[in-house]
C-alpha cells in the first residue's frame, strides 16, 4: 500500500527543474531557468513518473507556456500552473488524473501525506471569468490551510487486494493532506472530426477542435456548427462553459446542441505509487447522452457537465448538432432614438413570432467603437444611436423576405425606427457580423489611452460581464445599466443578444484610472447582477461563473441550491482536484 | 462565354497531418484512411468559374478530374458549388496522383485532348498548384501544348466584352497585370489564394448535384480516344527517389543577454 520510508530514500530524485538528466519532450529546463519560472510546486517525482510511463507525452515547463495557460481573455490576473501537459489519449488522461491524488511518504514524515495536484483542462484560453486561473498560493512551503492532518477511512485508499474486508471498512488512518501545485491539460491533440452519416445532423469531435476548424472540415457537407461565441473556442471548452453566441436566438446554446460526450472523471480513491502505476483503479471514463434527438433515459448527464467549467472532469469528445446552411440569408439594421425603444422592438418581434436568425442590440457607445473598427473596410460608418442588427434566414426567398418585411413594419411603423437598410450579399453580411464580434476589442480600443507613454486599456485589464433576463425586463435592465454608466461616469459599451434577453457590458480599465473609478466600475457590475437576480434572471447568460461570479450563486439559487451543487461536486470530485475554487467551494 | 473547363484534383485534405512510412520508399506518404478533399487552389478555380458563369449567362462550367473512382465525389463537390457537368477520367486504384505515378505532363496531355474534343472552350481555370506535388506545371504545360495564352497566380480576373481576359498576377515582387487577347484559343489561367473565397455549397445544391451528369471514362479508353500513347501517359517523366519527413525542429537556445546573443551569432559565423 504505502511505501516504507527506507524504500523511498533509495529512490532519491533530484528536483526535476535543476536536473539536466531528466529529459522532457519540448520542455527546456535551461529555458525555464533562464527566464526564471518560479520553482515548481508539484510533487518531486510527479512529472518523472508520468514521462517514464508515457514517453510520448509532451510536457512543457517553459515560462511562456505556463503563463499562457494561466489566464483567459479578461482582467482576472494570471495565475499559472507548474506544468502544461499535452495528452493525446484518454488513457494518458486517466493516468495523469490518478497521479493527482496520491499517498506518499516524504522524508521526515510521521504520517503519510496525501498530495493533491490541481488540474484545469485548457482549450483555446478564451474564457472570461478567471476559469483558467489556478489560484494557488505561490509558496507551497507555507503551512497554512494547505497542510492539515485528518483521519480518513482506509476504504478511500486504493487497495492491493480486491475488495475491502468488513474489518477494514471501519478503520481510519491519519494522513496529512497537502495541495501540491497545479497542471494544465492542454487538449489540443484531441482533433478528431467524425464521419457524417447522410441524413444525420450531428458530428462527434475531439474536445480540442475549434469551432472554425470544425466548420472548415464540414465545408463541403452543406452542414455547419451554428454556435458562435466571439472567440474561436474549442468544442470542449464551449461545452464546459455552456457557450453561445449571436446565433442563439435561432440555434440556441451548447446546452441544446450537445447530444453526447465522453468525460474522464477525477479519481475517487487515493493512489499509492509503486513503480507500476498502470494497475488498479483508473479514474472512470463516462460516455453519456445519445445520438438521438430526444432521450428520456435516466439522469441528464450531459447537462451535468455542460457549464461545469472543468470542475467535474475532463471532456475528451463531444457529439454536437449541426444544421444545414440556409439557402437564403438577408441582414438588416435599424436605428432608434433611444435604447429602451430599440429593446422593446426586440420583445415585440419575438412576441409576434417573426423568425429571426440573429438580433443584436448596440448602444450608441458600441456604435462608436463599431465605427472605429470598420474605418479601414468598406462599410459606411453608422449613426451613433441605439441600433438593431437583424438577420433572417430560410430555405426560400419568399419566406425570408416575408420575415424581413414583418420585422421592418415593427421597427419603422410601430416604433419609429429610422434608416432601415438590408444587405443581401455575403461579403457585406460577414463584415457586419465580424465587426459585431470584434466589439470586445474595439471597445477596448475606443477606451484606448495608450498614446502618451502610458499603457492603455488591454484585454488583460478589461472587465467584461453579461447578464440574461426575461424578455419583458430586458428594455428596463439594459437602459438602467446604460444610465448607471453615465451617472457614475464610467466608460462602457452595452450590447448583446437582445433576442435572448442577454447583454454584455465591456468595461476597459486603464492603469491611470483612479481607485474611485475602479470602484464605480465594480458598482456597475454589482448593480447589473442584482437587477438581473431581482427579475428572476441570471447573473451570467454566457460567460459563466469561474470565480468572479461565485458570490452571486447563493442569491440566485439560495443556500439549498448551492448546497446541492456542493453535494454533486463532492461526490464526483471528493479531493477537489478539478479546477478548485470555481463555481463552488468544498470545505 | 461558351464553356469554362475546370480541371480539379483530389488530394489529401489540407488540414490533415501527413504520415510518412519511409520503409515504403517513394510510396511513403500514407494515403489509406486519410481524409481527401478537393485541392484548395482547385476550389478557388471552381469558385471563379461559377462567378464568371453568373456574370455571363449561358456559359457552361465543366469540371474534370483524373483519379480513382472516389474522384467522382470531388467532382460532385464542384457540381454542388455550381458546375454544370463533370468528366471523370478514372484510373486504376493503385495509380497515385501525388507525383509518384501521374505527373503534370501526362495530365496536361490528357487535358489538351479534352479541350480539343469539347470544342468551344473559352477558358481553362486551374489551381496554381496542387498541395501534394506542389509542381504548378499543369496549367503552363497545357497552355504550351495548346499554344494558348496563359496567366498564372491570378489574384483578379476580368473578362472583356471582346472575350479577352485581364489578369492581375501575384508574384514575389509585386502584382503584374496581363491581358490575354481573344485569339481563337482558350485562355489558360491558374488561380492563386487571394482570387476569391470559395462558397460552401448548401444542401439543396448538394442534392441537385447528384443529378447532374458526370461522364466517367477509364484512363485507358480516354487515351485511346484521344489518340495518345498509354505508355507515354502512364510512365512518369520524373522518378521519385525518396520520401521522408522533414527532421524535427531543434530546440532553440535561450541566452541571457544581448551580449551573449551577439557572441553566439558571431560564433556561428552569422554576424561579422
Helices and strands, number each (H, E), in chain B: 8, 11
DSSP string, A353-376: T---SEEEEE-HHHHHHHHHHTTT
Confidence of residue A10 (pLDDT cuts 50, 70, 90): very low
Question: Do residue B15 and residue A325 have CB atoms under 8 angstroms apart?
Answer: no
Q: At residue A67, does pLDDT exceed 80?
A: yes
Residues A513 and A521: their CA atoms lie apart, in Å, by 10
pLDDT of residue A33: 38
B77 touches chain A (CB under 8 A): yes
- Tell me what ipTM this predicted complex has: 0.90
Proportion of chain A above pLDDT 90, given as a percent:
65
DSSP string, A443-464: HHHHH---SSSS----GGGEEE
Choose the weakest-confidence range: A22-36, A392-406, B253-267. Answer: A22-36
Residues A201 and A518: their CA atoms lie apart, in Å, by 47
Evaluate whether B149 touches B143 at the Cβ level (below 8 Å).
Answer: yes
- CA distances to A290, A433, A577, B94, B206 from A223, rounded to whole Å, are 20, 20, 38, 32, 11
Residues A286 and A305: their CA atoms lie apart, in Å, by 11
A194 touches chain B (CB under 8 A): no
H-run or E-run covering A147: strand A147-153
Which residue of B199, B202, B248 is the best one to mutate when testing the A interface, meaning the one whose CB has the most A CBs within 10 A?
B202
Q: At residue A30, does pLDDT exceed 50?
A: no
pLDDT of residue A375: 64
Evaluate whether A529 touches A545 at the Cβ level (below 8 Å).
Answer: no
Evaluate whether A71 touches A77 at the Cβ level (below 8 Å).
Answer: yes
Evaluate whether B86 touches B79 at the Cβ level (below 8 Å).
Answer: yes
Of the partner residues B15, B80, B205, the one whose CB lies closest to the CB of residue A213: B15
Residue B223's Cβ-count burial label (10 Å; 0-12, 13-18, 19+) is buried
Average predicted confidence (pLDDT) for chain A: 86
pLDDT of residue A146: 57
Of the partner residues A26, A28, A325, the one whose CB lies closest to the CB of residue B202: A325
Q: At residue A147, does pLDDT exceed 70?
A: no
What distance lies between CA A430 and its chain's CA centroid? 25
- Segment A65-79 mean pLDDT: 87
For residue B13, list chain A residues with Cβ-Cβ distance below 8 A.
217
Question: Do residue B202 and residue A327 have CB atoms under 8 angstroms apart?
Answer: yes
pLDDT of residue A22: 29
pLDDT of residue A266: 96
Using CB atoms and an 8 Å cut-off, which of residues 324-383 of chain A contact chain B?
324-327
Within 10 angstroms of residue B114's Cβ, the number of other Cβ atoms is 22
**A431: which residues sit within 8 A by CB, 6+ positions away?**
A374, A377, A378, A379
**Cα dihedral A539, A544, A546, A548 sign:** negative
Evaluate whether A374 touches A382 at the Cβ level (below 8 Å).
Answer: no
Q: Which residues of chain B have pLDDT under 70?
A: none
Q: Angle, nearest 10°, between helix axes A426-437 and A439-447?
A: 50
**Nearest CA among A5, A53, A62, A66 for reference residue A34:** A62
Cell digits of residue B181: 487577347
Residues A540 and A365: their CA atoms lie apart, in Å, by 22
- CA angle B238-B243-B249, nearest 5°? 135
The string of pLDDT tens digits covering residues A374-387 is: 765 666 788 899 99
The whole model's pTM is what?
0.89
Residue A228's Cβ-count burial label (10 Å; 0-12, 13-18, 19+) is buried
pLDDT of residue B252: 78
Residues A479 and A489: their CA atoms lie apart, in Å, by 15
Q: What's the gap in Å between the CA of B144 and the closest CA on chain A?
A: 33
Evaluate whether A72 touches A126 at the Cβ level (below 8 Å).
Answer: yes
Evaluate whether A245 touches A227 at the Cβ level (below 8 Å).
Answer: yes
- CA distances to A83, A214, A322, A480 from A252, rounded to whole Å, are 36, 18, 12, 26
Q: What's the gap in Å between the CA of A49 and the closest CA on chain B?
A: 23
Question: Do residue A222 and residue B15 have CB atoms under 8 angstroms apart?
Answer: no
Within 10 angstroms of residue A512's Cβ, the number of other Cβ atoms is 11
pLDDT of residue A169: 63
Evaluate whether A112 touches A59 at the Cβ level (below 8 Å).
Answer: no
pLDDT of residue A20: 31
Evaluate whether B43 touches B14 at the Cβ level (below 8 Å).
Answer: no
pLDDT of residue B248: 85
pLDDT of residue A12: 31
Within 10 angstroms of residue B147's Cβ, the number of other Cβ atoms is 9
More confident residue, A95 or A107: A95
Residue A560's Cβ-count burial label (10 Å; 0-12, 13-18, 19+) is exposed
**Nearest CA among A93, A15, A27, A95 for reference residue A66:** A27
Phi, psi torsion values for A326, nearest 5 degrees: -65, 145
Confidence of residue A166 (pLDDT cuts 50, 70, 90): low
Residues A26 and A103: their CA atoms lie apart, in Å, by 29
**Cα dihedral A398, A401, A403, A406 sign:** negative
B196 touches chain A (CB under 8 A): no
What distance lies between CA A245 and its chain's CA centroid? 13
The string of pLDDT tens digits covering residues A291-342 is: 999 999 999 999 999 999 999 999 999 999 999 999 999 999 999 999 999 9
Evaluate whether A102 touches A271 at the Cβ level (below 8 Å).
Answer: yes
Residues A457 and A493: their CA atoms lie apart, in Å, by 14
Beta strands B3-7 and B60-67, pairing class = parallel
The string of pLDDT tens digits covering residues A99-141 is: 999 988 877 778 888 999 999 999 999 998 889 988 866 554 4
B257 touches chain A (CB under 8 A): no
Q: Is A110 left (phi over 0), alpha (psi -120 to 50) or beta?
A: alpha
Confidence of residue A159 (pLDDT cuts 50, 70, 90): low
The string of pLDDT tens digits covering residues A242-283 is: 999 999 999 999 999 999 999 999 999 888 866 555 556 789
Locate the chain B residue with the closest alpha carbon to A215.
Answer: B200
Evaluate whether A215 touches A225 at the Cβ level (below 8 Å).
Answer: yes
What distance lies between CA A452 and its chain's CA centroid? 35
Q: What's the gap in Å between the CA of B241 and the closest CA on chain A?
A: 31
Evaluate whether A431 touches A377 at the Cβ level (below 8 Å).
Answer: yes
pLDDT of residue A201: 96
pLDDT of residue B61: 98
Q: Angle, nearest 10°, between helix axes B104-118 and B219-226?
A: 60
Phi, psi torsion values for B117, nearest 5 degrees: -65, -40
Which residue of B76, B206, B207, B261 is the best one to mutate when testing the A interface, meaning the one whose CB has the most A CBs within 10 A?
B206
Q: At residue A57, does pLDDT exceed 60?
A: yes
pLDDT of residue A274: 61
Evaluate whether A489 touches A514 at the Cβ level (below 8 Å).
Answer: no
Residue A285's Cβ-count burial label (10 Å; 0-12, 13-18, 19+) is middle
B203 touches chain A (CB under 8 A): yes
**DSSP category for residue B128:** S
Question: What is the residue whose three cell numbers read 491570378?
Answer: B154
Amino acid at each position: 500500500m504505502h511505501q516504507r520510508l527506507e524504500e523511498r530514500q533509495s529512490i532519491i530524485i533530484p528536483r526535476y527543474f535543476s536536473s539536466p538528466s531528466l529529459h522532457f519532450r519540448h520542455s527546456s529546463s535551461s529555458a525555464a531557468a533562464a527566464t526564471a519560472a518560479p520553482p515548481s510546486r508539484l510533487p518531486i517525482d510527479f512529472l518523472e513518473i508520468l514521462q517514464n510511463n508515457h514517453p510520448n507525452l509532451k510536457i512543457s515547463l517553459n515560462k511562456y507556456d505556463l503563463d499562457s495557460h494561466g489566464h483567459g481573455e479578461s482582467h482576472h490576473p494570471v495565475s499559472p500552473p507548474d506544468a502544461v501537459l499535452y495528452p493525446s489519449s484518454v488513457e494518458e488522461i486517466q493516468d495523469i488524473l490518478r497521479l493527482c491524488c496520491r499517498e506518499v511518504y516524504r522524508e521526515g514524515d510521521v504520517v503519510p501525506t496525501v498530495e493533491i495536484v490541481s488540474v484545469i483542462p485548457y482549450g483555446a484560453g478564451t474564457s472570461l471569468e478567471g476559469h483558467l486561473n489556478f489560484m494557488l498560493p505561490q509558496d507551497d512551503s507555507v503551512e497554512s490551510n494547505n497542510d492539515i492532518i485528518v483521519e480518513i477511512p482506509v476504504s478511500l485508499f486504493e487497495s492491493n487486494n480486491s475488495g475491502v474486508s468488513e474489518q477494514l471498512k471501519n478503520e481510519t488512518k491519519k494522513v496529512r493532506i497537502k495541495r501540491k501545485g497545479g497542471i494544465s491539460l492542454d487538449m489540443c491533440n484531441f482533433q478528431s472530426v467524425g464521419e457524417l452519416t447522410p441524413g444525420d445532423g450531428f458530428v462527434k469531435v475531439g474536445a480540442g477542435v475549434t469551432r472554425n476548424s470544425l466548420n472548415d472540415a464540414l465545408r463541403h457537407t452543406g452542414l455547419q456548427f451554428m454556435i458562435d461565441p466571439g472567440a474561436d473556442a474549442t468544442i470542449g471548452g464551449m461545452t464546459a462553459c455552456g457557450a453561445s453566441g449571436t446565433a442563439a436566438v435561432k440555434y440556441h446554446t451548447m446546452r441544446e446542441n450537445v447530444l453526447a460526450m465522453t468525460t474522464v472523471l477525477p479519481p475517487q480513491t487515493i493512489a499509492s505509487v509503486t513503480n507500476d502505476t498502470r494497475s488498479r483503479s483508473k479514474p472512470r471514463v463516462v460516455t453519456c447522452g445519445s445520438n438521438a434527438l430526444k432521450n428520456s433515459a435516466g439522469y441528464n448527464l450531459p447537462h451535468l457537465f455542460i457549464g461545469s467549467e472543468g470542475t467535474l472532469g475532463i471532456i475528451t469528445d463531444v457529439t454536437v448538432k449541426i444544421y444545414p446552411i440556409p439557402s437564403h440569408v438577408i441582414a438588416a439594421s435599424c436605428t432608434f432614438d433611444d435604447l429602451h425603444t430599440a429593446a422593446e422592438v426586440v420583445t415585440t418581434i419575438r412576441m409576434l413570432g417573426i423568425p429571426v436568425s440573429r438580433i443584436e442590440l448596440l448602444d450608441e457607445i458600441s456604435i462608436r467603437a463599431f465605427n472605429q473598427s470598420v474605418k479601414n473596410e468598406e462599410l459606411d460608418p453608422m449613426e451613433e444611436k441605439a441600433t438593431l442588427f437583424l438577420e433572417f434566414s430560410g430555405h426560400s426567398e419568399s419566406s425570408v423576405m416575408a420575415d424581413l418585411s414583418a420585422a421592418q413594419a415593427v421597427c419603422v411603423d410601430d416604433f419609429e425606427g429610422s434608416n432601415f437598410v438590408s444587405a443581401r450579399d455575403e461579403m457585406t453580411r460577414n463584415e457586419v457580423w465580424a465587426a459585431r464580434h470584434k466589439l470586445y476589442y474595439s471597445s477596448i480600443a475606443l477606451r484606448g489611452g495608450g498614446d502618451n507613454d502610458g499603457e492603455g486599456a488591454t484585454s488583460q485589464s478589461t472587465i467584461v460581464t453579461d447578464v440574461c433576463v426575461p424578455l419583458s425586463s430586458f428594455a428596463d435592465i439594459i437602459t438602467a445599466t446604460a444610465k448607471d454608466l453615465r451617472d457614475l461616469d464610467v466608460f462602457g459599451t452595452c450590447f448583446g443578444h437582445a433576442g435572448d434577453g442577454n447583454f454584455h457590458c465591456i468595461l476597459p480599465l486603464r492603469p491611470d484610472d483612479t481607485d474611485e473609478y475602479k470602484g464605480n466600475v465594480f458598482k456597475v457590475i454589482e448593480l447589473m447582477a442584482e437587477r438581473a437576480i431581482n427579475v428572476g434572471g441570471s447573473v451570467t447568460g454566457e460567460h459563466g461563473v469561474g470565480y468572479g461570479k461565485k458570490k452571486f450563486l447563493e442569491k440566485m439559487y439560495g443556500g439549498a441550491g448551492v448546497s446541492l451543487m456542493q453535494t454533486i461536486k463532492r461526490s464526483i470530485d471528493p479531493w477537489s482536484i478539478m479546477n478548485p475554487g470555481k463555481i463552488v467551494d468544498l470545505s | 462565354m461558351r464553356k469554362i473547363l475546370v480541371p480539379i484534383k483530389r488530394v489529401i485534405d489540407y488540414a490533415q497531418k501527413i504520415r510518412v512510412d519511409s520503409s515504403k520508399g517513394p510510396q511513403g506518404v500514407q494515403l489509406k484512411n486519410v481524409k481527401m478533399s478537393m485541392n484548395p487552389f482547385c476550389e478557388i478555380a471552381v469558385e471563379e468559374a461559377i462567378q464568371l458563369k453568373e456574370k455571363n449567362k449561358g456559359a457552361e462550367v465543366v469540371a474534370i478530374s483524373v483519379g480513382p473512382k472516389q474522384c467522382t465525389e470531388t467532382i460532385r463537390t464542384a457540381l454542388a458549388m455550381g458546375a454544370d457537368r463533370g468528366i471523370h477520367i478514372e484510373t486504376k486504384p493503385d495509380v497515385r496522383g501525388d507525383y509518384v505515378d501521374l505527373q503534370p505532363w501526362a495530365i496536361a496531355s490528357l487535358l489538351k485532348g479534352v479541350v480539343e474534343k469539347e470544342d468551344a472552350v473559352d477558358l481553362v481555370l486551374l489551381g496554381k498548384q496542387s498541395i501534394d506535388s506542389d509542381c504548378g506545371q499543369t496549367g503552363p504545360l497545357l497552355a504550351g501544348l495548346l499554344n494558348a495564352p496563359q496567366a498564372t497566380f491570378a489574384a483578379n480576373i476580368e473578362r472583356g466584352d471582346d472575350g479577352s481576359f485581364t489578369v492581375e498576377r501575384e508574384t514575389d515582387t509585386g502584382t503584374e497585370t496581363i491581358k490575354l487577347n481573344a485569339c481563337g484559343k482558350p485562355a489558360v489561367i491558374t488561380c492563386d489564394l487571394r482570387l476569391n473565397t470559395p462558397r460552401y455549397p448548401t444542401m439543396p445544391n448538394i442534392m441537385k448535384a447528384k443529378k447532374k451528369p458526370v461522364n466517367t471514362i477509364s484512363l485507358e479508353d480516354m487515351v485511346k480516344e484521344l489518340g495518345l500513347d498509354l505508355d507515354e501517359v502512364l510512365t512518369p517523366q520524373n522518378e521519385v527517389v525518396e520520401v521522408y519527413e522533414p527532421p524535427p525542429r531543434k530546440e532553440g537556445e535561450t541566452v541571457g543577454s544581448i551580449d551573449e546573443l551577439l557572441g553566439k551569432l558571431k560564433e556561428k559565423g552569422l554576424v561579422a
